[in-house]
Amino acid sequence: MPEVVLSAHDLVKHYPIKKGVLRRTVGHVKAVDGVSFDLHKGETLGIVGESGCGKSTLGRLLMRLEEPTAGSVVFEGQDWSGASARDTRRLRRDIQIVFQDPYTSLNPRMTVGDIIGEPFEIHPDVVPRAGRRKRVQELLDLVGLNPEHINRYPHQFSGGQRQRIGIARGIALNPKVLVCDEPVSALDVSVQAQVVNLMEQLQDELGLAYVFIAHDLSVVRHISDRVGVMYLGKLAEIGEEDEVYARPTHPYTQALLSAVPVPDPTLRGKREQIVLVGDVPSPANPPSGCRFHTRCWKAQDVCSTDEPELVQRPDGRGSHLSACHFAEVRRVVETTDVSGENPDDRFASPDVSELSDAGAGLGPAGGGESLGSAQAGSTARRAEATNPAPEGADPARLATDDHQDPTR
Amino acid sequence: MTEQSIVEAPPTVDPHDAGEVGEERSLASDAWRAMRRNPLFWVSAVMIAVFVVMAAFPGLFTRTDPTVPVLAEARSRPGDGTWFGRDIQGYDIYARCIYGARASILVGLFTSIGTVLLGGTVGVIAGYVGGWVDSLLSRIGDVFFAIPLLLGAIIFLVSLPDFFNNNYLLIVLKVVLALVVLGWPSLARLMRSSVIQVKPNDYVQAARALGASPGRIIRSHVLPNALAPMIVVATINLGAYIAAEATLSFLGIGLQYPAISWGIDISSAIVGLRTTPHMLFFPGMFLSLAVLAFIMLGDAVRDALDPKSR
């Protein structure tokens, strides 16, 4: 296993709740409450969890945009939380961030060249003054933008292009770690894929390590080597991508995964969906013991009194870190990692008969129950009718339309 | 969003053909373009240009010396040898209106610059630093805000040492000082609120993450994005300060007699309000036009800077 570049030790961030005229502190919002993990060189650590579980706060703590209430962030063996201003500046070169919203993360009054060139002005010793413009153009080229657009302003770009600009700014100083705070959540799906692929490509070329924060389980699975699942400011489970996705042992992870839509109509209605009852408890007043016990179907008395440790627990084939007293594998749904496979050409195939065959086949198999022949026939007809191919649009052209740059 | 959709999504097409290189279009140049199309802007700009030239080179508009009285023709009506007639001292009203522009423009301009610098600085510090600094500065601002403008200016101007009555520029400066001291809190509040609005934006956070110093963040990220409301208000206020100067001069505590100001002329014309209203009308008209011009310019600037109102 490669060396550890960044590690968090019991990171805690509590925000005081102030009330009254005297602004007395009446409580704390425990946004992040004891999170520890290691990030290895060149790997991607995905952090998932629902809204408000502290993912973004964790990212900001790693970046030192917020001071942790307790705990420390160690970068290459050096404790960053106690570093002097000078060391902090130097360390900032090695850890950079990409923000969620490409519409607010770029200064609307600066040109793209100024935005991407700003890191060089703040750290003037990285690139000599004369070479900066050229370096900015190289970066633009690297993230797949036209280097000639260096003098344009952010509002002249689309969301996906803006996110590329944000990434270019993030990698300008050749960091070792890039914290990505929901980098694709604000983009639409086709552009998400482009940006995720770009990030993977950059990782290969530059040897970056990513902390990839997202709420989209599929995106995280696609890009991550390891995945951590957060619930109410704590890690519920963390392990290799396979371990968390195929053999989750924490009930919360299992519930999350069971809610992921499966892109296979034949499985519709067959899989078991775990529906959690109730809302996420307030982080200002988290439940005692295991934080998930209020919504957990496995909860017993011990869960409300003893807080489960995040320790290695058996997952059937091996073991990974999980914070549940009753950790056990539960077959939730068959999901496969398709990141290594060739793209499915089912929806872009020019072959019409093949398409309608596939549609007809769906009827009996997909319904699961015995259909009358008339019904089956109508299903097939409907399938044919929905095929756009014979009249009008040519599927091949449709496919190329999809490939066009979404920017214009 | 599923895994398959990620994989099936089209691979990145060469985005280099994403249109022609195109011209630079900064927000400022967009605003300028929008402003150029606004007739309100051109009307006010021409009027302001005329007033500024009037203030700088009054000799271009009249050869008559505004300080030479012709007592024999005192209170003569417009057209009796002069364009606007003569006032009670026999001064040429037209010449006095022209020469009076200087005081108004100077006071308006200096006061605006002063309030922008003082109020803007205080507002940026309060908004950016926050915490107890913000509380302290805001409360100090509130104290000054609570003093009525005229009452405060009267006390301020009366209590200033005689040193300020030595020459024209010092007299103007005296009025400017009074208006700045009482006028900065409104701009400080405005600036503070827009800085607070800009500060949490991700691009400011990104600059912090890059290790930028607070000075750099304020200079290149916060200020450019927080300045627009202040520019608008400062322009509109310029007109208001011209009116305030005239008010103070009218009351006899602003500019004083040897100096020429529309306010002084309006004040001295009161005696003939019923018999010779032209003595009041012309300086009053010049004052109104000047105030109107700056308020119109402020409106035009606001329309241009705020895309929502376009």
Largest distance between two CA atoms of chain B: 99
Q: Where are the beta strands (DSSP E) in A258-397?
A: 311-314, 319-322
Which helix (H) or strand (E) covers residue A132, if one does? Answer: helix A132-142
Q: Is A261 helix (H, G, I), strand (E, B) or coil?
A: coil
Residues on chain A touching B12 (C-beta within 8 angstroms) = 144, 194, 197-198
Quote the percentage of chain A above a pLDDT of 90.
22
Give residue A400's pLDDT.
Answer: 40
Give residue A331's pLDDT.
Answer: 63
Backbone CA torsion sign across A45, A50, A56, A58: negative
Q: Between 1.10.3720.10, 3.30.70.260, 3.40.1130.10, 2.60.40.10, what CATH number should domain B27-309 receive?
A: 1.10.3720.10
Burial class (CB in 10 A: 0-12, 13-18, 19+), A55: buried
Could you tell me the CA-to-CA distances from A188 to A184, A216, A259 in Å, in that order? Answer: 8, 13, 20
A93 touches chain B (CB under 8 A): yes
Angstrom distance (rounded) from CA B23 to CA A311:
58
Specify the length of chain A in residues: 408
- The nearest alpha carbon in chain B to A216 belongs to B1
Give residue B24's pLDDT.
Answer: 62
Angle of helix B168-198 relative to helix B149-159, nearest 10 degrees, comes to 140
Torsion, Cα of B232, B237, B240, B242 (10° steps)? -110
Residues on chain A touching B203 (C-beta within 8 angstroms) = 104-107, 115
| A97–B10 CB contact, under 8 Å | no
Closest CA to A53 of A308, A232, A181: A232
Task: Looking at the complex, report in whole angstroms how far the Cα of residue A303 sits from the nearest Cα belonging to chain B.
Answer: 33
Interface confidence (ipTM) of the complex: 0.76
| A110–B220 CB contact, under 8 Å | yes
Residues on chain B touching A117 (C-beta within 8 angstroms) = none
Please, which residues 189-218 of chain B have a Cβ atom closer than 8 Å to chain A? 201-203, 205-212, 216
The string of pLDDT tens digits covering residues A230-247 is 999 899 999 998 888 888
A396 touches chain B (CB under 8 A): no
Contact (CB, 8 A) for B95 and B64: yes
Please, which residues 8-27 of chain A have a Cβ atom closer than 8 Å to chain B? none
Residues on chain B touching A109 (C-beta within 8 angstroms) = 26-28, 224-225
A178 Cβ contact partners less than 8 Å away, ≥ 6 residues apart = A95, A96, A97, A98, A170, A171, A208, A209, A210, A211
Contact (CB, 8 A) for A41 and A54: no
Residues on chain B touching A86 (C-beta within 8 angstroms) = none
Tokens linked to A355: 């398409």
Backbone CA torsion sign across B29, B34, B38, B44: negative
Tokens linked to B5: 């959709």
Task: Looking at the complex, report in whole angstroms how far the Cα of residue B10 sits from the nearest Cα belonging to chain A.
Answer: 5
Which residue, chain included where needed, has tokens 């800009």?
A: B198
| A221–B10 CB contact, under 8 Å | no
What residues pair up with A234 in beta bridges, in sequence order? A231
Give residue A378's pLDDT.
Answer: 44
Residues on chain B touching A265 (C-beta within 8 angstroms) = none
pLDDT along chain B (310 residues), means of 10: 42 43 69 87 94 92 85 81 83 91 92 95 94 94 92 89 80 91 94 93 91 91 91 92 91 84 89 86 93 92 73
B14 Cβ contact partners less than 8 Å away, ≥ 6 residues apart = A144, A405
Closest CA to A165 of A117, A223, A216: A117
Give residue B72's pLDDT.
Answer: 84
DSSP track, B85-113 = -B-TT--BHHHHHHHHHHHHHHHHHHHHH
Q: Which long-range contacts (CB under 8 A, 24 or more apart) does A121-130 make?
A: A122/B207, A122/B210, A122/B211, A122/B212, A122/B216, A123/A89, A123/A93, A123/A173, A123/B210, A123/B211, A126/A93, A126/A173, A126/A174
Contact (CB, 8 A) for B157 and B180: no
Count of C-beta atoms within a 10 Å radius of residue B260? 24
Residues on chain B touching A335 (C-beta within 8 angstroms) = 3
Tokens linked to A61: 């703590």
B10 touches chain A (CB under 8 A): yes
- Looking at the partner chain, which of B12, B17, B208 has a beta carbon nearest the beta carbon of A197? B12
Could you tell me the CA-to-CA distances from A237 to A173, A231, A279, A315 in Å, in that order? Answer: 33, 9, 20, 11
Contact (CB, 8 A) for A240 and A251: no
What residues pair up with A210 in beta bridges, in sequence order? A44, A178
Which helix (H) or strand (E) covers residue A48, if one does? Answer: strand A44-48
Sheet holding A24-40, edge to edge: A24-40, A4-19, A70-75, A78-79
Which residue, chain included where needed, has tokens 């390891």?
A: A226
| pTM (predicted TM-score) | 0.77
Specify the length of chain B in residues: 310
Closest CA to A151 of A121, A110, A191, A118: A110
The string of pLDDT tens digits covering residues A327-348 is 888 765 555 555 566 655 555 4
Q: At A55, which amino acid appears?
A: K
- Looking at the partner chain, which of A109, A110, A145 has a beta carbon nearest the beta carbon of B15? A145
Contact (CB, 8 A) for A202 and A171: yes
- Looking at the partner chain, which of B2, B8, B24 has a beta carbon nearest the beta carbon of A111? B24
Tokens linked to A133: 């413009």
Give residue A195's pLDDT.
Answer: 87
Tell whether the model's pLDDT for residue A269 goes beyond 90: no
Q: Cite the DSSP H helix spans in B147-222.
A: 149-159, 168-198, 202-209, 214-217
Which helix (H) or strand (E) covers residue B236, if one does? Answer: helix B228-250
Count of C-beta atoms within a 10 Å radius of residue B20? 8
Give residue A404's pLDDT.
Answer: 44
B4 touches chain A (CB under 8 A): yes
Classify strands A177-181 and A226-231 as parallel, antiparallel or unpaired. unpaired
Could you tell me the CA-to-CA distances from A134 to A148, A288, B4 in Å, in that order? Answer: 11, 56, 38
- Looking at the partner chain, which of B11, B203, B210 has a beta carbon nearest the beta carbon of A105? B203
| A155–B27 CB contact, under 8 Å | yes
* Residue A279 CA neighbour count, 13 Å, CB half: 5
Tokens linked to B70: 């012709």
Angstrom distance (rounded) from CA A164 to CA A151:
16
Could you tell me the CA-to-CA distances from A380 to A35, A263, A368, A377 in Å, in that order? Answer: 53, 20, 16, 5
| A107–B15 CB contact, under 8 Å | no
Contact (CB, 8 A) for A66 and A28: no
The string of pLDDT tens digits covering residues A150-205 is 988 898 898 889 999 999 999 999 899 999 998 888 888 888 888 888 899 999 98
Tell whether the model's pLDDT for residue A352 goes beyond 60: no
Q: Cite the DSSP H helix spans in A52-131.
A: 55-62, 85-92, 112-122
Q: Tell me the pLDDT of chain A averaged across its residues.
A: 79
Q: At B216, which amino acid appears?
A: R
Q: At A373, which amino acid appears?
A: S
Residues on chain A touching B201 (C-beta within 8 angstroms) = 104-105
Quote the percentage of chain A above a pLDDT of 70.
80
What is the CATH number that goes with domain A4-224? 3.40.50.300
Angstrom distance (rounded) from CA B172 to CA B115:
15
